[in-house]
A and B are shown apart, each in its own frame.
Chain A
Amino acid sequence: MTLLEVRGAAKRFGAVQALDGVDLRVTAGEVVALVGDNGAGKSTLVKAIAGVFPLDAGEVLRHGALSVVWQDLALCDNLDVVANLFLGRERVRHGLLDELEMEREAQALLARLGVTLPAVRAPVSALSGGQRQSVAVARAVLAQPKVMLLDEPTAALGVAQTAQVLQLVARLRSEGLGVLVVSHNLADVFQVADRIVVLRLGRKVAELDPKAASREAVVAAITGATA
């Protein structure tokens, strides 16, 4: 089932054609990797899908709610994990915060996603990069989206933390979500993606199956060299 469809997306910033007739589909239970060199238009596409700005041409069709995990995470370091998960969606009882309910829901959610943290009442500032990323993803999941967009979720992470986040992405897929993940790391992409979409200078130049395509083919599509 198609959850997200982009048709002929075009966006220009001054002299830069950031997106040029891009088509994209994400179906349920599928991880689509969006790759491309710096400035290829990946973040622009994510923002256009999320509705941050309108497209010049083309359309975005969404079948179901969508949440985004932005590259800079946007967590409140001074608040604990539970408070961050429920920020803007606090559970309230008799006009007061229902901490018990939020803690219960947080525990259940984190367990479901296979995220292990030292304590849900620890301030986010005390967590590792991978744990913070996991909290940001869990926060997005709490909105019960059908589609998740992740912009470079492993960019700043070490090996073990990257594995943790990739596992989380796989978990989202097994729950039937459609996932669009932007990444620079081809090892990650080959590990988790069902499909690879390559952007170059705002155009979609290739759509590859990681089981069939070689890494060289992807690199060639990204750089534009003839393989």
Chain B
Amino acid sequence: MTLKERLPVLIGLVAIAIVFQSLNANFLSARNLTNLGLQIAAMSLVACGLVFVLLLGEIDLSAGAVSGLGAAVMGVVGVRFGLPGPLCALAALLTGAAIGLFQGVWITRFTVPSFVVTLAGLLAWQGAQLGVLGDTGSLNLNDGFIVGLCATFLPPLAGGALLVAAITGVALTSVLSRRWVSAGRLGLLGISGGLPLAIFSADRGVPLAVVLVVGVVALMDAVVRRTRFGRHVLAVGGNAEAARRAGISVERVRIAVFALGSMLAAAGGVLAASRLLAVNQSSGGGDLLLNAIASAVIGGTSLFGGRGSVWSALIGALAIGGISNGMDLLGWASPVKYGVTGAVLLLAVTVDALARSRSAAR
């Protein structure tokens, strides 16, 4: 996506910052922005998976439920079977991937709309989550690894080293794929990484969860833009028939994307559970799914397929999370909060639809 396409959401972010800061002086404080980073981490990963699905022109309504079930599986294998934390998290990811694989195969094999299959999945995986959690319906997490995902803060020096490594990584992939990134862009990257680094350092340090999310988003962005698989995802989303005639296995691309999307949803569930220090029956429920979809779309990923970027998940999550965080600071009631979030989503989708009809009119 070009900077011009990003402009609406960037202006929106600035507007959110100005409005809420003028209403509550704590909004832009280092402490609150660090909290915001932790609040949107899980949602960003779910949104990241949804971006892939949206790029295909499909939808995944089961993403929230899958994140909840993934977290429940993680909790149960840890508490009941005593597996170490990393293996529990892996179990969650595998659960997500398996579910996505199943849904993807079902969607392509029987040509059922993804809307329907994942809506059925939403119910089924919610049920599975209740079943896995059992009678108590809630598990407290105390594994050091899992809890540490959201409770670890890196010292400024380590954060700075990571930023330098990230910029080097971008430059390196650019060299490898021989698509030059200008020094200006690298500088922009430095600023957009340096600013949060400075903010986090003024508080508790750089949250590990934020580092993980940014890392995943950057990796997935590289997958979309620099690999053959990513190119094929964009092609299928743009014109599936053209992709098929070009010899691309459209079905295989679709199935892989649903598997990847659900795996990222489960990863989001792991982070959410880590932050909550628990898994319960409402994990992955509530407004998580809609906020994640809203994040992807507000960030600039089209609901109509073929257009968008993985970074939009993070940028959109920042907007949605910022609004929600700001309204919480002001103590606004739920009816107002839901109304505002709904209006913002409607606005973003309308902008998307208008952009699409304008490009179709050309």
Distance, CA A77 to CA B237, complexed state (A): 10
Contact B242 A87 (CB under 8 A): yes
Distance, CA A156 to CA B193, complexed state (A): 50
Contact A78 B237 (CB under 8 A): yes
User: B197 in the interface, Cβ–Cβ < 8 Å?
Assistant: no
Smallest beta-carbon distance A71→chain B, Å: 12
Query: Closest residue to B248 on the A side, CB-wise?
Result: A88
Contact A77 B177 (CB under 8 A): no
User: B156 in the interface, Cβ–Cβ < 8 Å?
Assistant: no
Smallest beta-carbon distance B65→chain A, Å: 30
| 8 Å CB contact of A99 from B177, B237, B241, B242 | B177
Beyond A87-B235, A87-B243, A87-B246, whether A78 also contacts B306 by CB under 8 A is yes
Which residues of A sit under 8 angstroms from B306, Cβ to Cβ?
76-78
Smallest beta-carbon distance B253→chain A, Å: 11
| 8 Å CB contact of A92 from B228, B239, B242 | B228
Smallest beta-carbon distance B236→chain A, Å: 9
Distance, CA A93 to CA B227, complexed state (A): 10
Beyond A96-B176, A96-B177, A100-B179, whether A76 also contacts B242 by CB under 8 A is yes
User: B178 in the interface, Cβ–Cβ < 8 Å?
Assistant: yes
Beyond A92-B228, A96-B227, A126-B362, whether A77 also contacts B238 by CB under 8 A is yes
User: B182 in the interface, Cβ–Cβ < 8 Å?
Assistant: no
Contact B242 A96 (CB under 8 A): no
Contact A90 B177 (CB under 8 A): no
Query: Which residues from 237 to 279 on chain B have a C-beta closer than 8 Å to any C-beta of chain A?
Result: 237-239, 241-243, 245-248
Which residues of B sit under 8 angstroms from A97, Cβ to Cβ?
177, 179, 226-228, 231
Which residues of A sit under 8 angstroms from B179, Cβ to Cβ?
97, 99-100
Query: Closest residue to A136 on the B side, CB-wise?
Result: B242
Q: Choose among B178, B179, B241, B307 the residue with the greatest number of A CB atoms under 10 Å from its CB.
A: B178
User: A180 in the interface, Cβ–Cβ < 8 Å?
Assistant: no
The interface size bin for chain A is: 20 to 34
Distance, CA A79 to CA B228, complexed state (A): 13
Contact A78 B228 (CB under 8 A): no
User: A75 in the interface, Cβ–Cβ < 8 Å?
Assistant: yes
Distance, CA A218 to CA B234, complexed state (A): 45
Distance, CA A74 to CA B239, complexed state (A): 7
User: B359 in the interface, Cβ–Cβ < 8 Å?
Assistant: yes
Distance, CA A98 to CA B232, complexed state (A): 15
Query: Closest residue to B242 on the A side, CB-wise?
Result: A74
Interface string of A178-192 (1 = CB under 8 A from B): 000000000000000
Beyond A96-B226, A126-B362, whether A78 also contacts B234 by CB under 8 A is yes
User: B173 in the interface, Cβ–Cβ < 8 Å?
Assistant: yes
Which residues of A sit under 8 angstroms from B177, Cβ to Cβ?
93-94, 96-100
Contact B178 A87 (CB under 8 A): no
User: A95 in the interface, Cβ–Cβ < 8 Å?
Assistant: yes
**Partner-A contacts on B (CB < 8 A):** 173, 176-179, 226-228, 231-232, 234-235, 237-239, 241-243, 245-248, 306-307, 359, 362
**Partner-B contacts on A (CB < 8 A):** 70, 73-79, 83, 87-90, 92-101, 125-126
- For the complex with contacts A77-B306, A79-B234, 4 further pairs of A-B residues with Cβ separation under 8 Å are A74-B241, A77-B359, A83-B234, A90-B231
Closest 5 CB pairs of A and B: A88-B246, A100-B178, A78-B238, A78-B306, A76-B238
Interchain residue pairs with CB less than 8 A apart (30):
A74-B239, A74-B241, A74-B245, A74-B246, A75-B239, A75-B242, A76-B234, A76-B238, A77-B238, A77-B239, A77-B359, A78-B237, A78-B238, A78-B239, A79-B234, A79-B235, A79-B238, A83-B234, A87-B231, A88-B247, A88-B248, A93-B178, A96-B173, A97-B177, A98-B178, A99-B178, A100-B179, A101-B178, A125-B359, A126-B362
